[in-house]
Chain A
Amino acid sequence: MLAAARAGESALLVAPTGGGKTLAGFLPSLIDLAGRPTKGLHTLYISPLKALAVDIHRNLETPIAEMELPIAAETRTGDTKASKRARQRRRPPQMLMTTPESLALLISYPEAPAMFGGLQAVIVDELHAIAGSKRGDLLALGLARLTKLAPHARRVGLSATVADPAQLADWLGSGMAGAVAKIIGSGGAKPEIGILMPEARMPWAGHMALHALPEVYNAIRNARTTIVFVNTRAQAELVFGELWRMNADDLPIALHHGSLAPEQRRKVEAAMAAGRLRAVVATSSLDLGLDWGEVDLVIQVGAPKGATRLTQRIGRSNHRLDKPSRALLVPANRFEVLECRAALDAIEAQELDGEPPRIGGLDVLAQHVLCVACSLPSAADALFAEVRSAAPYRDLPRTDFDDVLAFVATGGYALGAYDRFKRLRQDTDGRWTIASKQAAHQYRMNVGTIVEAPMLPVQFKRGRRLGMVEEYFVQFLEPGDSFQFAGQILRFEGLRDGAVEVTRSSAAEPKVPAYEGGRLPLTTELAARVRAMIGDDRAWRALGGEVREWLSIQRKRSVLPRRDGLLVETFPRGRNFFLVAYCFEGRNAHQTLGMLLTRRMERAGFRPMGFVASDYVIAVWSLRPPRGIDALFDQDMLGDDLEAWMAESSMLKRTFRNVAVIAGLIERRHPGKEKSGRQVNFNADLIYDVLRKHEPDHILLRATRQDAAGGLTDIKRLADMLARVKGRIVHRALDRVSPLAVPVLLEIGKESVYGQGIDALLDEAAEALIAEATSEDTAAQGTLL
């Protein structure tokens, strides 16, 4: 690390948490500044979490004070006071800890060249969590700008263990003169991971793992400090509630997820850091960040979904390299037993799952172009070259860049309708610059790439704010309904001034808010392992008696899905005929497959009635028995049907909304600052429909399609699967449901489909659903019409 710094080289340090990574990143700067004190900003530290930036700042203050170094270190986040921010721009400290969004803001000011001119080092923490996302695109463009302002500043990346460090190093060093030194830390002691096989029967379906919570509670009791990781916020609320119900010892157990009020989260983090908690139930909101030396056990409730993610979560325990991390996996159903075992094997074999490099979003680029224009006049050619020096935009075509620039300047519409309402103007040298103070202000109010679903604050009458729930959930509430949130049971009193007003309640069966996103699909690597495991009965021993028996009966009654090829079962049940395909390609891919299959079955006259997708299988039911299974799964389903569906899908509409917000077409909603007006200003769906009809090739629609195609890696998975199984489909026509099909059938109707699942239904079944819902109302119709 020091050698690389002395040589002025950039470096990527990959090591598990607890390896002292962060300090290693700062060490060269500390030495440099101690030996040759300089004025002005010397080292910039960027972290994906505000809390982490604050914590690192605290941790650095100690050595700086103890060694009496003449170094000023400060944080700069959205929480920093305006007066301090202004001062930081004029007289920056030597070390500044910030976030990608705050960096974007900093470089948007005319003072940026002076502020960053003397910069020596940029440290990017938790790089693995940023690169490969839109936030990563924003940061890559910010880094490119920094290199323009301070060509000699080296970059330092800090990352947890990843599948492909070379790819990350390439991202980090893009546009830099020299190579990036890769420093791969030793793995430390191997983690000790167990799978919890509870006393109670292993459930056939469900994701909450409530059956295993007594054992989870015991594990918490026997450990010093435990993080209980779950996959969704709804799961967090339920697991937390259940643990407290059985908490006879009054153990201090806390809750942490992304919808809780920030103050609440900070309190939990502080209690955790001080060692005052025995356990915290958390979502990915705790995947990153603070080193908690006290944590000696990590429990993953529900399927891990990917080996890399699990490794990183397990790494949150026991931050000492000489001692192994301890972890416990808690499968919630039988398929999850397979998945947990597969993840464990993958970690044992040190096979992590990687993702292909990301192509930079055009919406993020639009935001950045506006950012640069706010700071300094820029020539299009120079800016294009600068943008291409960022890894995600390496292959950006000039035409895309020009279209983005035109969009930022005047909307970029074919007719040039808005030429008189410029956001950018060209100076006498042809350089682009911001046209008005108002436009710069708008940029700064809308910076960032994270677009939340519309949320509403939850608060007590005349009182404390507990956090935010999605507006969508609130639509289902009537005054008097109770729901579980922030670890409490609350009674919905009504909406007042855009806030959800609640009182405490003790209702027995509260609802639990569901949230969009957060549910990761099973990775390709784990899916392959699960398939292989099912096909190999020697591997079953590790799965426990119930699962072993389940698979044996499946073999007798039907056949086991093979490692290659595709098993498709059909059987009658009630008035319907079911088709179950064991694809193991993850929920999102199966949702798409369900859409396409039902379209095709409709055309074939099988009269499909619905489908349900899990991470492992897809089940479709129809009024007539499906025939010609090989033809149903033909690869050509990804042609016209897919295009037709994509164009209409509300998934694209939602993608468009995000793109439009990031690109600056639509202003962000600032919760609490909205007028409590009666009408929303406009609806992104309406704009999407109009734009698609009148200018289908507009840059924002191209950005939307690119985004959807990238987000839909599941379509690629689907294509790969259809190619792989061609000519190798095993069809079993059964007289009744098979053991392996039971779990997915249990999901029908129980599964509250959300996010992409809802699109599937809305897009094609809206009319049918409404017709069903209306049929009960024929009597009322008679009286009114």
Chain B
Amino acid sequence: MGASLTINGALVRADPSGALFWPSASLLAIADLHLEKGSSFARSGQFLPPYDTSDTLDRLAAALRRFQPRRVLCLGDSFHDGAAAARLPPVEADRLRRMTAAHDWLWVAGNHDPAPPAAFGGRVAAELREGPLCFRHEPADGALGPGEVCGHFHPKAGVSARGHRITARCFVTDGSRLIMPAFGAYAGGLDVLDPAIAGLFGRANFRVLLATRERLHLFSRAQLGRPLPRLAPAG
């Protein structure tokens, strides 16, 4: 169950998987796939399970089935490092090629993959401007302009209730701009209250959509970081 929202006047749908669907453009955006992050760490002796690419593509395939987009936009950091494409297991590489072939596929460059590899099909661009929206990997000049949709920050947020804290990936928006959660299986998170994220938004309209397995939950800035009132069980 996702949530519909308007960003700078464009009606989009945020999905608990971390994908963003723009129906009128038939475009599905995902950010920060970080393919082959696991094997990147294996090179330095930390043998993370070599299944992150497979897992990420599984979830991507599921999102493609659900939304049936004509166009797909990968919002940068799709490949964890410059050699990731070479390390991609052949079976996953094939799967990726079939996906790009079936869609109008755009790789937006990110800081981890300034030049996304051509080997898997699709086109490469620095950004996509269309209608009221501008998709870029990270904000230009450290400021997020109206209609900008970015990845890069891997936002996560925590809420507290009854003395307990629940942390999850999230979308961050103020109705004008949007930061997307990371889609990659091993992509860690940065708390939205960190100045790197919070500083991009004004305090007033700052909202997060927290993703649990099946739902998105809306929280205001005031609800993050402070424990919520406890609920008395006995009446």
Contact = CB atoms under 8 A, between A and B. Distances in A.
A665 B190 contact: no
B218 A781 contact: yes
Contact of A667 (B46, B185, B210): B46
Contacts of A785: 3-5, 218
Nearest to B213: A767
B158 A421 contact: no
Nearest to A781: B218
Nearest to B230: A749
A687 B48 contact: yes
Interface string A565-590: 00000000111100000000000000
B45 interface: yes
B50 A772 contact: no
Interface residues of A, number: 65
Contacts of B49: 411, 413, 687, 690-691, 694-695, 698
Given A770-B212, A777-B218, A780-B207, A423 B189 contact: no
Interface stretch (B65-73, B100-108, B159-167): B159-167
B231 interface: yes
Interface in A388-444: 407, 410-413, 415, 417-418, 421, 423, 436, 438-439, 442
A521 B168 CA distance: 31
A574 B166 CA distance: 29
Contacts of B210: 770
A694 B55 contact: yes
Contacts of B4: 785
A753 interface: yes
Contacts of B42: 411, 417-418, 421
Contacts of A758: 164-165
B233 A610 contact: yes
B188 A681 contact: yes
B177 to A, nearest CB: 13
A785 B173 CA distance: 11
Nearest to A612: B233
B50 A418 contact: yes
A196 B207 CA distance: 53
A472 interface: yes
B157 to A, nearest CB: 11
A690 B186 contact: yes
A478 B224 CA distance: 11
A769 B48 contact: no
Interface string A685-702: 011011101110010000
A769 B161 contact: yes
B220 A777 contact: yes
A687 B188 CA distance: 10
A421 B230 contact: no
Nearest to A691: B49
Interface string B130-154: 0000000000000000000000011
Contact of A407 (B44, B47, B196, B215): B47
B54 interface: yes
Contacts of B187: 682, 686
A475 B165 contact: yes
A752 interface: yes
Contacts of B165: 472, 475-476, 758
B90 to A, nearest CB: 12
A478 B189 CA distance: 20
A616 interface: no
A223 interface: no
Given A475-B165, A777-B220, A777-B223, A411 B47 contact: yes
A472 B165 CA distance: 9
A631 interface: no
B191 to A, nearest CB: 8
Contacts of A667: 46
Given A418-B42, A476-B227, A667-B46, A683 B212 contact: no
Interface in B166-187: 166, 173, 175, 185-187
Given A421-B47, A423-B45, A777-B223, A770 B217 contact: yes
Contact of A784 (B37, B48, B218): B218
A767 B52 CA distance: 26
A748 B234 contact: yes
Interface string A636-672: 0000000000000000000000000000111100000
Interface in B48-91: 48-52, 54-55, 89
Contacts of A694: 49, 51, 54-55
Interface in A292-314: none
A439 B46 CA distance: 10
B39 interface: yes
B123 interface: no
Contacts of B185: 686, 689-690
B233 A609 contact: yes
Contact of B194 (A476, A678, A698): A678
Interface-centre pick from A412, A413, A438 (highest chain B CB count, 10 A):
A413
Contacts of B223: 773, 777
Contacts of A678: 153, 190, 194, 196
B155 to A, nearest CB: 10
A695 B38 CA distance: 15
B225 interface: yes
Contact of A417 (B50, B161, B207, B219): B50
A520 B194 CA distance: 36
A409 B187 CA distance: 25
A695 B161 contact: no
B203 interface: no
A543 interface: no
Contacts of B5: 784-785
A679 interface: yes
B235 interface: yes
Contact of A421 (B45, B162, B231): B45
Contacts of B231: 749, 772
A103 interface: no
Interface string A303-336: 0000000000000000000000000000000000
Nearest to A780: B220
A761 interface: yes
B118 interface: no
A693 B218 CA distance: 29
B172 to A, nearest CB: 12
B207 A686 contact: no
Contact of A686 (B153, B188, B217): B188
B102 to A, nearest CB: 25
B45 A439 contact: yes
Given A762-B164, A785-B5, A417 B89 contact: yes
B175 to A, nearest CB: 6
Nearest to A758: B164
B129 interface: no
Interface in B7-58: 37, 39, 41-52, 54-55
Given A575-B235, A682-B37, A770-B217, A478 B164 contact: no
A576 B189 contact: no
A413 B4 CA distance: 41
Interface of A: 407, 410-413, 415, 417-418, 421, 423, 436, 438-439, 442, 472, 475-476, 478, 573-576, 609-610, 621, 664-667, 678-683, 686-687, 689-691, 693-695, 698, 745, 748-749, 752-753, 758, 761-762, 766-767, 769-774, 777, 780-781, 784-785
| Complex A-B, nearest 9 residue pairs according to Cβ-Cβ distance, in ascending order | A574-B235, A411-B47, A417-B50, A694-B51, A574-B234, A575-B235, A680-B188, A691-B49, A769-B161
13 contacts: A412-B47, A417-B50, A423-B45, A438-B44, A475-B165, A573-B235, A665-B46, A686-B185, A694-B54, A698-B49, A771-B217, A772-B231, A774-B219
Given A417-B39, A574-B235, A678-B196, 20 more contacts: A412-B47, A413-B47, A442-B45, A475-B225, A478-B226, A621-B233, A665-B47, A666-B46, A686-B187, A748-B234, A749-B162, A749-B233, A752-B163, A753-B164, A766-B212, A772-B161, A773-B217, A774-B219, A780-B207, A785-B5
